[in-house]
Amino acid sequence: MTEPVIWLHNVRKSFGKQQVLRGMNLTVERGQIFALLGRNGAGKTTAIRLLMGLIQRDGGSIAVLGSDPQQEPLQVRAAVGFLAEDQQMFGWMTIAELLGFMAPFYPTWDRALADRYVKEFDLPRGQRVKHLSKGQNVRLGLVLALAHRPELVILDDPALGLDPIMRKEFNRDLIAHLQGEGATVLYSSHLLYEVEPIADTVAILHEGVIIKQAATESLRSDVKQFVLSAEDYAEHRELLAAIDVQRQRAEVAATVENAPATLDRLAAEGIRPRVIDLNLDDIFAAYVAGHTDAPAGARALGPVSVSA
Amino acid sequence: MFLHIERGSSTPVSRQIAEQIAALCAAGSLKAGDRLPSVRQLAQELTVNQNTVLRVYERLAADGLLDMRHGEGTFVAGNASRRRFEKQRRQFIDELGLVLRRGLMLGIAPEEVRQLCDEALEANAELAPTASDREGG
C-alpha cells in the first residue's frame, strides 16, 4: 500500500491571535519511525492534537490511516496508540483496575503485553493512578498506548519522565516490537542524540511550518559545516547558500545543506574547505537558530560561537 | 560480536557500525564464514533502527566484506582480503591528517610529532603485518 499513514497539507491553526501552525505539510509512510522535532512552542503538541481529532483545524487537510480525524475522531482514536503530553487518567482507579477498564475498548488488547510493560516499567499494580509520580504516569500512558498493538502509534514526548535506563528500554521496544512488527510510529522529542539511532525520518517544525523533513541518515551526510577563508566565503556566498554562518577572524564556518555537491562545485573553483561532520544537535540548531548574516544588514549577527 | 555505539557523536551511527565490523574483520576477530547477528538481533542489541543495520550490511556486502545469503543470514565473505578495506584505509588517512593537524595547532613541533608516531607504532608492533603478509606491497 502506498497511501501514507499520516498526511498533512497546508494545515493552519490559531489560538486567539496566536498563529501556531501556518501551513504545515507532512507525510509519514507506513512502517517508518518518524521523529517530529522542534523547540518548545514550535507547534508539535498542537499538530499531534490535530492528528488525534482532539482540536479543530482552521484550514488545510489531514488524513490519518485514511480518515480525517476531524470527521471521524473515534475511528482514528480506536486505531491509533496515543500518548498525550499531559495524559490525564482516572485518578481514583488503581493501575490494575484501569487496565481492566481499558481492555474492552480495544478488540486487539493484548493482556500479556500490558502485564509485561507494567512489570518492565516498574509500575505498582495496586497503586491508585492519582498517587503515581510524573514518570510513572507517563509509563502507564505508554502501556495504554501500546497494549492494543496499534498499527500507528503517536507519542507526544514519550521520553519526558523516563529515566535513562527506562528510555533505553523504551527505545529498544520501539525497535523490537513496533518496528519489528511493521507499526508506524510518530513521536516528538527533545533528545536529539537519542532520536538519531532510532528514527528513519526526522522533521523539524519551526514557527508553525516544517522547515526540513529528511531521512535521518541523509540529513547527516548532506548537512555539514565548511570552514574556509572569509574571502573565499564572500566570493561564493550564493553557491554555499549556508543556513548558518559563524565568523572567526579570517575564517568562516558555513553550514551547508547539500554538502557533497557543493564540495564538488567548490573544488572546481579550486577551493577545498575543511569539512566538519555535524551531529543531529548541531544540525537542528543550524536550522532553528542559524544566522546567515544576509547582506545589507537585514539581520543582526548572533553571538559568535567559540567552538567551530 | 561486540560493538559500541556512541550517541550524539559527529560520526553517524551507520558509519560507526560499518567501521567497527570492518575493524573486527581486519583484526581477524571475525573470520571468513563467520555468521553475523541477524539485522533484527543487532538492531535490538544496539538499540538502532533496523533499516540502519540493514543498510550497513548491504553496503559492506557491496564492498565485498560481507556475504548476504537470502534466507540463511549474513556471513563474513570468504575472500575478504586487505584490498577490501580500501574505504577504511582512506578514512584512516583522513583521520590521521586531522589528528596531525590538531597536534601542529597545539604547537607540537613536526619532529616531535614524528617521534610520537614512531613511539605509537612501537607500542603496537604486534599488530603490524610482516612483509610476507602484504599482498604485493
Domain co-membership, A28 together with A93 = yes
- Of B35, B62, B80, which one is at a domain's C-terminal end? B80
Which residues in chain A are closer than 8 Å to B12, comparing Cβ atoms? 196, 217, 220-221, 277
Q: What predicted TM-score, i.e. pTM, was given to this entire model? A: 0.80
Q: Is A302 a member of any domain?
A: no
* pLDDT above 90 (res A57): yes
- Tell me the three cell numbers of residue A242: 549556508
CB atoms closer than 10 angstroms to residue B48: 25
| Band of pLDDT at residue B82, cut at 50, 70 and 90 | low
What's the gap in Å between the CA of B41 and the closest CA on chain A? 9
Residue B4, in any domain of the structure: no
**Are residues A268 and A215 part of one domain?**
no
Same domain, A227 and A215: no
Q: Do A197 and B47 touch (CB under 8 A)?
A: yes
Q: Does B124 touch chain A (CB under 8 A)?
A: no
How far does A53 lie from chain B, in Å, by closest CA?
29
Binary contact (B49, A171; C-beta < 8 A): no
Q: Are residues B31 and B76 in the same domain?
A: yes
Shortest distance between the Cα of B19 and any Cα of chain A, in A, equals: 16
Q: Please write the tens of the pLDDT for every residue from A154-177.
A: 999 888 878 888 888 888 888 887
Tell me which of A83-87, B41-45, B128-132 is least confident. B128-132
Residue of chain B whose alpha carbon sits nearest to that of A201: B49
What is the ipTM, given to two decimal places?
Answer: 0.76
Cα A81 to the center of its chain, rounded Å: 16
Query: Does residue A229 sit in the same domain as residue A273?
Result: yes
Domain range enclosing A107: 6-219
According to the model, what pLDDT value does residue A138 have? 82
Query: Domain check: are A187 and A267 in the same one?
Result: no
The answer to whether residue B6 is domain-embedded is: no
Domain count, chain A: 2
CA distances to A130, B97, B98 from B91, rounded to whole Å, are 55, 10, 11
Q: Which of B43, B59, B80 is the last residue of a domain?
A: B80
Tens of pLDDT, residues B2-35: 899 888 888 889 989 998 998 888 878 888 889 9
Residue A286, classed as helix, strand or coil, is helix
Domain interval for residue B120: 83-133
Q: Tell me the mean pLDDT in the region A293-302.
A: 46
pLDDT for the residue A94 = 94
* A140 and A262 housed in the same domain: no
A306 part of a folded domain: no
DSSP 3-state assignment of A91? coil
Residue A304, pLDDT > 90, answer no
Helix (H) or strand (E) holding A246: strand A244-248
- Asked if residue B33 and residue B71 are part of one domain, the reply reads yes
Residue B130, pLDDT score: 59
